[in-house]
Structures are given as structure tokens and as C-alpha cells.
A and B are shown apart, each in its own frame.
Chain A
């Protein structure tokens, strides 16, 4: 337990400079763009003097370092500036959109884990047999299709050709749900709206499946090779020599060891998966961070881009931290020091 707290503390300490660096990089990069936020935030008939005044008001005439310092001071107090386009607090916009994306990402992670671990076990089971090559071919195909292509394929297959699942938005238009947590699956249940829950789930299925399936093959392969390695270990042979059955050897002895490298990989994969939500959200018009980001980029909405970008960074860091803590829980050898 102490080891886990120690790890989390250390990871938090290293996360701070990472976040700082990312925010500086984004800040500088965004200011290099040939766009003028002041001009964009004014009505089209504003004069040059008005714009200059606005620029002074927004602090854009100050040196870049001062601008960054002002932004950082605000950010530390929870003020991420106002969206130029939407004229609302950027922090609020992000917290409104974040639950939807997290919900999508979590469902996709569950699907990726189930497919990945199940597929890994299946591939391991096929080892040495004639169907091993078939399994290899299958994972290669899965590996070579990116998540947005799955998203398009699913829209065509299950949305257009066989119209069985919705593929626009996150809820049917006939429902309205009171926002409590922001997670639709939870809010519909809290409100006791069974049919709204079913609708939200149906809307979630295709995008989550597209993301999950895209990130599962790497997990399959690592689990398979992990199991192959573990089965060469002395403790597996020794367990067999104690007369322990093959089923128990797989579940109790091999899997808890083989899962460790797999988990580490899943941490990396889920970081990418969270980034992958962006394109999938756009394709499914899913009202999450991704669409917010794309709109912000389209409108050169610098404060919003900065805030959403930083949010992606924080979530990816959190995912990594969670997986590291989980590996620590499952691997006693790491807890030694």
C-alpha cells in the first residue's frame, strides 16, 4: 500500500513538469499561427482602433512570456480563459464535454480488453496447430485497420446497409435527460429512464466497438507471447509435477504472470485510444471533447484549443498512472522497494 502511494506521489511529481512543458509548447505554437484572436472576437464592422483596444484588453500586446504567465496564473486558479467563438468559459465547456468522451473511452477500453485478452487466450490455445497461421493472419488484418476506418465500416455496415444501430449523436432526439453526472449511461439510470438508457447504449455501441476493436490486436499478441514465455518457466513445470490440472495452471499460475507485460502495454494503448476518440467522435457526431476540439481548431479558438489539448494530456497521464498502480498491485516483485 505504501509502495503504491509512493508511486502515485512520484508520478504526480513528474506529471507537473510534463504538463507545464506541454502547456508552454501549445501556447507558443498557437501564438505562432497567423490568426488574431482579438479581431476574431469583434463584430465584422469593428474598426482597427477597436481591435487594437480589444487586443490591449486581452493582453495580446504584451510579450509572450507575460502572456503565458497571465494564462498560467489563471489556469492555476481554474480560469482557462474564454472561448472566443462560443463566448463561454473554456473550462466549463471542457467539463461539459468530458464525461461523454470518458464514457466512450471507457466502453472502448472494456471492449478492447475483452477482445484483446480473449483473443490472446485464443491465439495461445491455437499455438502449434494448423490454425495458428490463420490466427496470425487475423491479428495482422486487425492491426492494419485504423480506428477511423473501423468507424466508417461500422457506419456503412450496421448503420446504412443493415440499419440496426444509430450512428449520430449520443441519444435519440425524443429523450431528454436531466444532467447529474454528465455520464449519460448513469444519468438515465438515475432518472429511471430505461428506454433512454437503451438508446444511449445503442448510440455508444458502434463508436466504442470501432475504437475497441482497433486497439485489441496488440493486446492479443502481447498476451499470447507473454503466455508462451511463462509456459517455459520452471514454476509452470513444477506446478504440473505437483499434479495441478492444466486449467488451474493457466488461470492461477500462468495468466497472473503473463498479464503483467500485457497490462503495461495496455496503459500505452489506452493513451492512444483516448486520442483516437477524436476522429471517432467527429465521424459519429458524438458531442464530446473531440468535436469540441475540432470546432475550436476550425475557428482558431486559441483558449479553447489550449484547454482541450491540456485535458487530453492530463487524461493520458492519468491512464498511465492508473495502469502503473495496477501493475504494482499485481506484481509483488515491484513492491519490494
Chain B
């Protein structure tokens, strides 16, 4: 899995391990924790923490080091705290193990250091009473409690909202600087890594393809893979360009065994014959830079050009009209309620791509559910084409079939694991009054798979036999089956790697060029929205607080919330400083009916 990985991490420095899923970056943390999955073992080499070789430790010595000298910040803060123990109990258990006597005082100090207010009250709370960001702050406080020599943070912000991600990352950097701790920062996000790390190692299929100082590595990638990663990520500034969509995918564990040359060669745009047979050794690629490539000076030749976006197909007829649509979820006693969506108005024309951004809980998904008739609007109107579907009746549902279809976030759970791909994508033809026979359905399934760039060989596969990207394509194919005019896509690329994401974004744009399909693209990723959508809506606590052309909104945001969202994204240019807004609201979970204080600016 992992071969010949070498890195040094000095006290007070942050080393970033960057790679897509399957690259083996999590395995590094597991080697350190000695928690390898069954069937894996470290076959050679050493991993030294001062005088200890972490690979060959006695269990007692390892346990002595864990928590005290090596601390971990987890990926999913909400599930990393024991749900039946108070924060205080878990804190004091940890401090007791560290041999700290005045535990309460120390706990309060630590909570203060991670900018959590009212620590005394917090210690009495249970994890489910805290937001994800608060849980992560608690876990960070615990990690730093023993002044460890090294902290391993494995995707510590992936599960959090963007604005919270920015603050957590900066908090970790601040604590790390003050304590002089060494930190291993494992992430899939090259841009984020370059912001907080001193040095970066880029992993591909278990091989460190490139390493070097963060700033110079990002400014001038020496390895074709690093360069490709950069070109596959949409940007927040500069002209919009097409994304590099690498063909195929990263080789899996079984394929690795048969590969003799460079592991990236089969996908590399500049690979030549010798790349497939010769294992590239580390070569110098500039000051303090190393890259494992036979053509270290060739990476800059990889480029993409041209506009990504076929212009919107102008058409007077709107596909979707949402008129002051509101949804209120009543509380138990029915007296008060929470406005999940409040007076949302929105029009999408044929062939128009509209982005809907906001943090979790902002009501984005409820808007999608209102359009799809999964929720009935409390007030307002939902119109698809020429039919009012607000009541979400059975007849409305039949109409909706050919107007709007939804693609869900988690491609895995959206597909019935017991049905074959061919049946899944033509489900809609199987139901209803005139179901089609299997031969006709398979014919249609073949067309649909071709349309989303999948081969007919997948027809008889089960979802478990597909990769994440393939599953999401199957989801899209299913949504296309009834030839809808509008796709509602709820975070459909957020779980996917950038190279797969680039492929899917290209697919959506091609669908528009070929069939004039419209899209409501719900996402927390502003750069993806900028790449894909001409128009954007910003939602905050149930209100659409700002809307307009994407370029205008992102270049000169009017609403403070939009500004905060934008500030949370690290600037593309590594030379520019990154100063996200401080946000006090995150420190306590919102209570009461959420209403934005500022009126919607009209555009």
C-alpha cells in the first residue's frame, strides 16, 4: 500500500500529508496509532519519535506515549466524544491520566485557550448538546492538554461547515505555534494544507510523489499529479477555466501489486513509455524540493484552457418558480415553530444553472425538499413549468417526474444495494400504469449510462461493485431517465475527490449543452458554485439573504453573511493573507426561531 515514505517533522513545524481518498494518508495516522486494519502490517522502515521507533514499541510503551506525547485530533468530532459521558467527565479522565492534579482549573484554562466561553457550564454538558465546531474545540483542547510532542490531525475539519473549518484550522495553528508542538496535518485539500503547513508531502496511491515547502510547492508543482490536482480544483478568483478531468481513477490496492512503473503513469498527461516500466526515484526539483518523477521539469506543460461553461440557453419560460415559499417545522406543543425556510423566492429558466449556498441548517436542503414535494410548503407557491405543485399531491408527483428530479448527496445510500444498476436507473419506467418490459428498459439503461459516461458493462453490477464517482453517475443517470427539465443536486460532489469532482462537473455542463437541462446546485463549496453556476443564492438561517450573478456576488458581496462565507475560503494566491471573520455565533448553538436581521438586498 505505502512504499518508501520518508519525512521529517521538527518541533514547532506543521507537515501536511495531502492526497485523495485511497492514497494511504489515513494509513499513516494508523501506523502511528498502531491501529492498522486487519491484514495490514508494517513490513519495513522505521518511524521515530525522538528515541522511540513507533513501529516497534511494546504495547505498554505505546500506551504511555498515546495521549501524553502523541495526541490525535479526529475527523468526526461529533462521534469522537462518548455520548453518555459529560464533557467534564471525559476531560477529567484525560487530565487524570496525564497526572494533572488541579483538573477543574486546568480544564477551564484549556477551554478558554480554544476560545470556548462559559467553560464551567460546558463541562456539565453532553456531546449531543454541542455543535460540531464546539466538539472539535473540546477535542483540540484535550489534544493539547498534555503538551504533546506531536499532534496528528486527520482531516480535522472535513465534517464541519466552511466558516467553522477556517476558524478551527487557524485555532490549531495558533495553539501549535504557542506550544511549539509538531503537527501532522492530514487532508485532501491542497489549498488548505498550503495555508497552515510549513511543508507538504503529496501522496498518490501510497507513494509520496512530491514533497517540499508548502509555498513553493503550491506555486510551482513539480510532479504531474500535484499539477493535475491544482488544475482539477475550481478557483475563487481569476477567469473561469475548464477543469482538468483526469481519466480513470487512482489504482486500488489489488491493482498496485501488478504495477512496476510510476503509479500515476496510467493517468499522467505527460507520461511516456518508460514511465510505465521504470519506478521513478526521488529526484531533486528545486531548493528543498523532491519529486518522484522521470520528468520533473515537465509538470508545467500540463494545462487546460478555454471556458468551461457553455453559455446558458436563453429561453423565456421558467422551469421552476418558487414564490415566497416557507416551511415551518412545528415544535411539540404546536405553539411556536422554526422557520426552516422563510419566504424564499426563486426562478430558474430552462438551461440555467443556479447555485444555492449556505451552511448546514441554513435551509438549503429544505428548499430542495419543497421543490421535490418531499415537504409541503407552509405558505407560498411552488410552480414547475405551468403547474402549481405546492400541494404535493399524487397528480403533482406524476407531473414532477418529467419536470424535476433530484440527485442526493450520499451516492451510496441513495442506491438500493440489492438492485442492479440497469434496474436502478430505469426504476421510473417499471412503475406506473404502463410499465415497460425488461428488454426495453435495458435498452434505455444503456442509453442513460452512455449519457453519463459509463459503459454498458455496468448494467448488471450492484452498487457495492462501483466506485464513488461511478455511483454518483448512476444517481444522475437515474434522475435523467424521465427526461426532466430540472435537476436538483444536493451536495452531489462533496464526498468525492477533486479529480472525480472535475469529471462530474464536466458531465453536468455537457448535459446542459446537449439537452438544455437546468440545475439547482446546492453546495457549501463556493469555488465549485463559481465554476458551474451563473447565478447564486445565499441562504442563512432560512432566509435567502443575497442573490445575483455569481461573479458579482462573490466579487462584491453585500450581506455580512456572504462576506463571512467568502472569507472562510483561503485565497487562491498563497501570497495573500487569509483572515476569516471571527464568529461568535458558533460558540453557542442557535436558539429560537432563526431570522436574519438584515433585509434581502435586491439585485
- Are A235 and B83 within 8 A (Cβ)? yes
Q: Given A234-B76, A238-B72, A336-B128, are A243 and B83 neighbors across the interface (CB < 8 Å)?
A: no
Residue in B64, B65, B79, B129 whose beta carbon sits within 8 Å of that of A235 in the complex: B79
- Are A252 and B93 within 8 A (Cβ)? yes
- Are B66 and A257 within 8 A (Cβ)? no
Residues of A near B84 (CB, < 8 A) are 256-257, 260, 330-333
Q: Given A242-B66, A243-B66, are A233 and B79 neighbors across the interface (CB < 8 Å)?
A: yes
Q: How far is the CA of A256 from the CA of B71 in the complex (A)?
A: 25
| Nearest residue, chain A, Cβ from B76 | A234
Residues of B near A332 (CB, < 8 A) are 83-84, 86, 126, 128
Residues of B near A256 (CB, < 8 A) are 84-85
Is A241 in the interface zone, CB < 8 Å from B? Answer: yes
Q: How far is the CA of A257 from the CA of B85 in the complex (A)?
A: 10
Residues of B near A257 (CB, < 8 A) are 82-84
Q: How far is the CA of A331 from the CA of B66 in the complex (A)?
A: 29
A-B CB contacts (within 8 Å), total count: 70
Q: Separation in Å of the A3 CB from the closest CB of chain B?
A: 13
Residues of A near B515 (CB, < 8 A) are none
Chain B positions 333 through 371: 1 when the CB is less than 8 Å from some CB of chain A, otherwise 0:
000000000000000000000000000000000000000
Q: Given A241-B67, A243-B68, A333-B128, are A235 and B332 neighbors across the interface (CB < 8 Å)?
A: no
| Nearest residue, chain B, Cβ from A330 | B84
Residues of A near B66 (CB, < 8 A) are 240-243
Residue in A240, A241, A242, A243 whose beta carbon sits within 8 Å of that of B64 in the complex: A243
Is A239 in the interface zone, CB < 8 Å from B? Answer: yes
- Are B82 and A242 within 8 A (Cβ)? no
Q: How far is the CA of A195 from the CA of B376 in the complex (A)?
A: 72
Q: How far is the CA of A240 from the CA of B128 in the complex (A)?
A: 21
Q: How far is the CA of A235 from the CA of B126 in the complex (A)?
A: 13
Q: How far is the CA of A234 from the CA of B35 in the complex (A)?
A: 13
- Are A235 and B81 within 8 A (Cβ)? yes
Q: Separation in Å of the B338 CB from the closest CB of chain A?
A: 13
Q: Separation in Å of the A255 CB from the closest CB of chain B?
A: 10
Residues of B near A331 (CB, < 8 A) are 84
Residues of B near A87 (CB, < 8 A) are none
Which residues of B from 8 to 67 have beta carbons under 8 Å from A? 33, 35, 63-67
Which residues of A from 308 to 337 have beta carbons under 8 Å from B? 330-333, 336-337
Q: How far is the CA of A244 from the CA of B93 in the complex (A)?
A: 9
Residue in B65, B81, B129, B332 whose beta carbon sits within 8 Å of that of A238 in the complex: B81
Chain A positions 222 through 260: 1 when the CB is less than 8 Å from some CB of chain B, otherwise 0:
000000000001110111111111000000110011001
Instruction: Using CB atoms and an 8 Å cutoff, list the residues of chain B in contact with chain A.
Output: 33, 35, 63-68, 71-72, 74, 76, 79-86, 93-94, 97, 126, 128-129, 139, 142, 332
Instruction: Using CB atoms and an 8 Å cutoff, list the residues of chain A in contact with chain B.
Output: 233-235, 237-245, 252-253, 256-257, 260, 330-333, 336-337
Return 30 A-B CB contacts under 8 Å, by A number.
A234-B74, A234-B76, A234-B79, A235-B81, A237-B80, A238-B72, A238-B74, A238-B80, A240-B35, A241-B33, A241-B35, A241-B71, A242-B66, A242-B67, A242-B72, A242-B97, A243-B63, A243-B68, A244-B93, A245-B63, A252-B85, A253-B85, A256-B84, A257-B82, A257-B83, A260-B84, A330-B84, A331-B84, A333-B84, A337-B332
Beyond A235-B82, A243-B66, A332-B128: 13 further Cβ-contacts under 8 Å? A234-B76, A237-B74, A238-B81, A240-B35, A241-B71, A243-B64, A243-B68, A243-B97, A244-B97, A253-B82, A256-B85, A260-B84, A332-B86
